[in-house]
Amino acid sequence: MRFKAAACLALLLSPAALPAGDTAAVLSSESGAYLEAFSAFERAYGEKVSRYAASELPQELPRGIKTVVTFGAKAAALRYPPRLNLVYALAPGFFLDPAARAGRTVKISMRPTPERTLAKLHEIQPALKRLRIFWSSPGYASLQQEYAEAGAALGLEVTLVNVVRAERLPSLLREALGQMDAFWLPPDPLLLSRETLMIFREFSWGNQVPMYASTKGLTREGACASLGVSFAQAGAAAGAAAKALQDGAVPPALVYAKTTELTLNTAAARHCGLLFSPALLRQADHLLP
């Protein structure tokens, strides 16, 4: 029986049993989010692609594979032959060094460009002049220059605050009170937990300082609004990047999705004394009462 099961697995993983092509996909798990992104990836890529779960990845990928596309940090963190191109998505806060690999390394961002994000925040809150960004993941250390430059073009003063330890968060927020008109949270797994989200929400609502985020889920947890990248939008961006690699093009090391989704939370806005304009309400992809 064991021999029969092993033989079936070998058949399923053999190159003849898998879709043809030079691209393979690895998912951290067979969960809904990763499958949603993978489906959008295949549509954008235009071909069926071999798919593996990270826990069942064979020691050797089929011959001819030139590009691996991963979904989730667990899948992205696996060791792949350095000669292969690697496109990784749905891994916020996780960053690979492109210089460490011979093949191309392309990260699909789970946040919109700084320019698009800040422009939308300014549209939501026209009186916004001073914005704080809280972060923890080491890969976000470079955000200071990106967002400061994008903010300057809009007349915004953008300051980044590194939350090294979660227990320091209440004092960091108190220190920023009176020095910011709002704050924004990037998709940062090291920063965001049930405990820190409650601290952020209570501070925001209690002091009428709007909290903005980068995912619909965080807007449900009390952010006034979010401009983010959905799983499907990230998957489509990964498909376009993989297609570009297949065609011999050179995509940038960091790729932003072309489309985004806007989520508004009217209850959170009321707590912060914020009123969404009718035009903004019409733009919302998701509106939470």
Q: pLDDT 10s digit of each residue in the chain, 289 long?
A: 433 333 333 333 333 334 547 999 999 999 899 999 999 999 999 999 999 999 988 878 888 899 999 999 999 999 999 999 999 999 998 999 999 999 999 999 999 999 999 999 999 999 999 999 999 999 888 888 899 999 999 999 999 999 999 999 999 999 999 999 999 999 999 999 999 999 999 999 999 999 999 999 999 999 999 999 999 999 999 999 999 999 999 999 999 999 999 999 999 999 999 999 999 999 999 999 9
Residue 17: predicted pLDDT = 39
CATH architecture type of domain 114-228+261-288: 3-Layer(aba) Sandwich (3.40)
- Amino acid 252 reads P
Domains 2-110+231-255 and 114-228+261-288 share a fold: yes
Residue 246: predicted pLDDT = 93
185 contact partners, CB below 8 Å, separation of at least 6 = 133, 134, 191, 192, 200, 211, 212, 213, 214, 218, 223
Q: 224: which 2 tokens?
A: 């006034």
Give the CATH class of 2-110+231-255. Answer: alpha beta
Show me where the domains of the chain are located: 2-110+231-255, 114-228+261-288
Where does residue 222 fall: left (phi above 0), alpha (psi -120 to 50 degrees), or beta otherwise? Answer: left
Q: What global pTM score does this model have? A: 0.87
